[in-house]
Chains A and B, each alone.
Chain A
Amino acid sequence: MAEQTKRIFGIDLGTTYSSIAYVDEYGKAVIIPNAENERVTPSVVFFDDESIVVGDVAKESSKLYPNEVVSFVKRSMGEPNFLFLHNSEEYRAEEISAYILKKLAQDAEQFLGEKVTDVVITCPAYFGINEREATRKAGEIAGFNVRHIINEPTAAAIAYGSLDSNDERVVLVYDLGGGTFDITMIDIRKDSVEVICTGGDHNLGGKDWDDRIVAHMVELFQSETGTDEDILDDPDTWQDLQLSAEKAKKILSQRPKTPISVTHGGERVKMVISREKFEEITEDLMERTIDFTKEMLEEAKNKGYKSFDEFILVGGATRMPQIKARIEETFSVNPKVYDPDEAVAKGAAIYGWKLGLNDGLIQRLSQKTNKPIEQIDDISVMIESNELSAQDFKEAAQEVADATGYTLPSIERSMLKVKNVTSKSFGVVAHTPQDDEIVFNIVLRNTTVPISLKKNFYTAVQDQKTVLIRIMESETSRVEIPLDHAVEIKTAVLNLPPNLPADLPIEITFTLNEEGRLHITAMEKTAARQIDVMVDTASVIQGEDLERAKARSQNLVVH
């Protein structure tokens, strides 16, 4: 079998656990175990003297070398002021994430005996523009050709939808992972996966449940020993408790109580935590997920989706029995727990696989029709408009099938359409005639992407040199909002050509691509001149820093 298409891997880069998957020769998505023969790898990075260790060993090391270990780095993606210092070298979140990706890829290469070059990486639906860009940069630093960034719930839905591809249905994906909560309504059709609405919080996940247990253990320790000391000030103790809390939480999903012990300053206190107590101290966290779900359902109603067919649970933290019970009680449905740890990576792999097959199709069609590859983008649209003949398509599909060994229907289905929405609104800072600063939203959240919008800007004075555009992100659905209800994510500077008159319209085009990343171009309309736009994002690694990180990553050994 002459493999014509490039293999594209799917990577779930999670807050607490990551995994990698591919589609095997039978068209089935499978997880690739790591060198330790585990199907998921803890997203923990340990900076050892000479090398970098990722995974279980790193996680266990956090107790001994708390200051050399980074966990939950995904929560800091897109955070401009995150900085990890090791041996007087500074590392940003993207770079640390890149090491996790490298580890996954290396182990997969070892396992399959083939190089990992092209990947699809997932990120929470609730990630904003910068976080998405940071995710892509992490992949680039790791040395990959990042084919696509897709949303975790979308990936889960693809994996879920691929089970039985004839059924059309609207599903709610409730994804409670280690660090983020996403609630997404997805319309699964035969040849498309369409996101209707999304909501959530990327600071709400299994870790928050762990933190409550940690706090509880600290209290018990204090009352048992009569000390007032905050034992979490000791990094060793903190890490130790963090790990035991997670273990305890997992046990409590199975059993009504679990013993646990805290050791600090030579004192050891044994305690028992019951499921009841656990649920009591975390109730409000669960309620928040329910609130988000209700809000999202309201928004979906505005889009004409008044009901859903299925409620599926993904993400490791949905294993906590109270979650399922609460959902049953609130929404009167029977939620399905669907492959909570692996669905996302598998869905990403399936998506990557389809991208690969589609590439093959396009290549062949281009040969057949003598059209350049760039001209063939959306095959199904082109067939409909008779730009391509159905006959050519059939032949091309058959050839791809022959070359790859996959069945003809699976090749034909590879033209899966994924429609996504933005999880946040974005806009620009504008001045009202009263000269108050406000945010003027250009794209409201839950708008389908890709989307391109043009806004005119008028020069204020003659020979204006620059225009400063402050790009703001927010979580409302209103057009004008106060400045402090939004976060500044980027600034763009337009460098205008000299000697422009005042009041000249400049057309600025804001494009959110299908990944939810933002591009800005500008044009001076009267002379149809392209205008130079410089986008500055301190929040995402770029320029020299990016190059340095790439170089550093190439020379690094990751275990």
Chain B
Amino acid sequence: MQRENYYIILELSVDPPENDREVIEKAIQNKKIEWSRLRNHPTKGLQIQKYINMIPDIQFVMQDDKLRAEEALAAAEFIESGRENKISEIDSHIDILMGKGYISKEDIIRLAEIHGLSQGDINERIASKKNAKYVRVDQFINLRMGKGYISEDEVIKIAKKNGMTPEEIRNRIRCPIVKDDKDIDHLKIQPLDKSIEKAITDNLKVVGKTSLYNFLGLAETCELKQLQEKAGKKKKELATIGKKDAVLTASVTLAGQCQTIFKTNETRIAYDVSLARAKLAALDSDINIAAINKKIRHEYFDALINKAMEYGMDKDEASSYIQTYCQNKKYRIEKKPEKKRFRLMIAAASVLLVLIIVAGFMAFSKIHHRNVIESEYQDLIKKVDAERAPDQKLLLLKKYVTTNANSEYAADARNRISQIELQINSTEFGKILQQADQLVQAQKLDEGFTLLNQALEKTSEPENKKIISQRIKNVSELIEKRDFEELSAVSLKGDADQKIEIYKKYLTTHPNGKNKAEVQALIDKMSDEYFIYVSKTLASYEQSEQWEDCARLCQSYIDIYDNSHSDQLKQLIPKYQENIRNEKIYDALVDKVNRLGTDYKAAIQIFKDYLAAYPKTSITEKINKNIDRLNGLMSVQNSNQAAYNLRLQFAKTKGRFVEKPEGVIVDTKTGLMWCMLDSTIIKPGVCFTYEEGKSYTEVLTTGGFSDWRLPTPQELAEIYKTDPAFPATGKTSYWTSESYSGYSDGWQIQVTTFSSEDSIHWETAKKNALECGVVRPVRNP
């Protein structure tokens, strides 16, 4: 993030740059006082604290001639670029004011005032505007993204309007693109609380980010889980920074806010909507400009609508948006003679229409006339009588009862129903039907379905077969409906794999389902989302080496889609199969090694041979671990061997060095007790830095003692330099207890070592604590 410019913060003159030290000092002092006052401001406090923390740097930069000159230059550039931004803002205001066909002198004065420019500047802009064509694709997109999504139709519209291809437009869009506005009906969104939104915006300002997505460094289309994980990670990361300044406090708060906002889909969408709302702010500012004395002339109103449409709203959307805005702002919209009214009427009519549709369902039965009711019932009875199958009769009557529950004929109808039911139930066949009905009633659709199918197989009577088939059809429709509802619920909030699974299940269980096309469309729409899921899951499977699962998952994508993703996945499968093979080989190798028992060397050789032949495979790492493990075992073997050799040598020290207890050598001359084996023998080939050497010593329990320590250089000299000496082998460099703080400016840790090239000549030397050394622990008796 670029930091703010000090000239601008201090409100110093930039052109010409202020260079008077006294003036600058005074400015800083004034800011100190101002910021101290605002330090606990409820919303700006954090930003202010950031400024306060900047004071030392401000002083530093502003007192240094060279740095200050650079600062002044940067300030000048910044102001220039601000001017450019301003120009596009002015242009858009000019557009609006030109809506009435001309720009008045008054308008120019007003614009000049608003933008703090001379009238000449504004006139110049107007002139250049007349033939300039401005591309505002991003503005179009931003406005439409306000909804939280963009429809395919809109993409095409925007493309057409700007002479671009839909693909180019799609590339610029950072929100979901949907086929159809209908898909979004479920997005009944509670907007985010404004003060939370404000808190977020303020904190974002402090850290210099534009949105929570931007803060997390993730795309706005990212999955919820990913956002959550990143937020958690971010929080942990921040916790390790040992300094709670304003930026960190703001960041921590933001990370917390991410966690609450990205907890559920609802809260996230709420946030997206408020993000979008912020994008609408451009239009709001246009409306404010058009409002002179809290009144909007009708020409302006039309211009604003055009403007909004140009941004991408449709006419009704635009008009209602602007009207609501003006209402809130208490702006009066001047009526346009005659025509204007018509428009309002249309708006009112559309509201009415909605009301009527809703109310209609309730009103339906009431507005039927009695006569209508009577003749309708008679018609029904006629139909019932004409019907031969009792099942169909029932269906007609039941339908009547449910839709006309309060009609005076309902009782009669119910009567008839029970008679017919009695009739049906008297037969065996009837019983099955009844049982099936009960199951269906209890929502046990699948059981009912099975029962009916069994019955169908058993019956031979064609009439009954027909009845059952009809029922089966009904039940399977119900099942389909239920499954589809379940599917819809999952499609709203499920994870990609849940969605795919349920879609697939739907298609297999309802190959001719009513909603087949829709489900197929859902599947098609998910090709990207599912691919992302697959890729992510593959990564985690790979991590845990679940190769079979990897292959299976790829196949599942390939089975559904045939696109560039599936091509990509197809290429992965052979690799996974290779890995599956390797796993088998690994198991075989381990088996072979286990049979070798304690012959670690041979065992290691087996692994090494394999590595020589196949240096880089998916099991290399595991094999290396095994080699390490075997090396460890072997070193125990070796140290036993080394101990044996050493004991022979100790026997030749004329009784100076005696082993007591096992592994501990007592120097009878000084009484000090030494570890028989040094760290090179216990851990061959391991580098011990000084700190590691110390901790190695600290945790050591050789001989049952826990007070081992590093020896002093003198103590080491005593055993190696006086005869009969401690047996030594080859080149060694022992860490001693003597260390110094001594960074390159005096604080770096230096350690005295006691070393020899040939195990005969020993000397002390200094060595950086981060290098490798050997440890020979000692303890006092």
Contacts and interface: CB of A to CB of B under 8 A. Distances in A.
Interface of A: 67, 71-72, 75-76, 79-85, 201-203, 207, 210-212, 214-216, 218-219, 223, 226, 230, 232, 238, 241-242, 245, 277, 280-281, 283-284, 287-288, 291, 295, 424-425, 428, 430-433, 435, 440, 455-460, 467, 474-476, 478, 481, 484-487, 505
Contact of A284 (B42, B245, B253): B253
Given A283-B260, A458-B746, A475-B243, A214 B43 contact: yes
Of B193, B244, B329, B747, the most chain A CB neighbours within 10 A belong to B747
Given A75-B39, A81-B36, A455-B741, 13 more contacts: A67-B37, A72-B40, A81-B35, A83-B29, A83-B32, A84-B36, A210-B42, A215-B42, A226-B329, A242-B42, A280-B196, A291-B239, A432-B744
Nearest to B325: A226
Contact of B32 (A81, A245, A425): A81
Nearest to B256: A284
A285 to B, nearest CB: 8
A238 B52 contact: no
A439 B29 CA distance: 31
Interface string B304-345: 000000000000000000000000111000000000000000
A215 B195 contact: yes
B616 interface: no
B199 interface: yes
A180 B192 CA distance: 28
A238 B257 contact: no
Nearest to B245: A487
Contacts of B253: 284, 288
B169 to A, nearest CB: 32
A505 B427 CA distance: 111
A460 B745 contact: yes
Contacts of B163: none
Interface string B704-745: 000000000000000000000000000000000000111111
Summarize A's interface: helix, strand, loop or mixed. Answer: mixed
Interface string B34-49: 0111011111110000
B386 interface: no
A53 to B, nearest CB: 18
A287 B42 contact: no
A481 B242 contact: yes
Given A67-B37, A211-B45, A455-B747, A287 B328 contact: no
Nearest to A506: B746
Contacts of A484: 243
A288 B740 contact: no
Nearest to B770: A433
Contacts of B40: 71-72, 75, 207
Interface residues of B, number: 50
Contacts of B126: none
B259 interface: yes
Of B194, B253, B741, the most chain A CB neighbours within 10 A belong to B741
A485 B195 contact: no
B39 A82 contact: yes
Contacts of A230: 43
Nearest to B691: A479
Contacts of A425: 242
B240 interface: yes
A72 B38 CA distance: 11
Contacts of B240: 476, 478, 485
B748 interface: yes
B244 A216 contact: no
Given A214-B43, A284-B257, A430 B748 contact: yes
A428 B741 CA distance: 12
Nearest to A81: B55
A220 to B, nearest CB: 8
B139 to A, nearest CB: 21
A475 B242 contact: yes
Contact of A459 (B37, B257, B746): B746
B330 A226 contact: yes
Which 9 residue pairs spanning A and B have beta carbons closest together?
Answer: A474-B242, A476-B242, A430-B743, A430-B747, A211-B42, A216-B195, A219-B194, A284-B256, A214-B42
Nearest to B59: A81
A456 B42 contact: no
26 contacts: A67-B37, A80-B55, A84-B36, A203-B244, A203-B249, A211-B45, A215-B43, A215-B199, A218-B195, A218-B198, A226-B329, A232-B43, A242-B42, A284-B257, A288-B253, A291-B256, A295-B239, A428-B747, A432-B743, A457-B747, A460-B746, A475-B242, A478-B240, A484-B243, A485-B242, A485-B243
A288 B743 contact: no
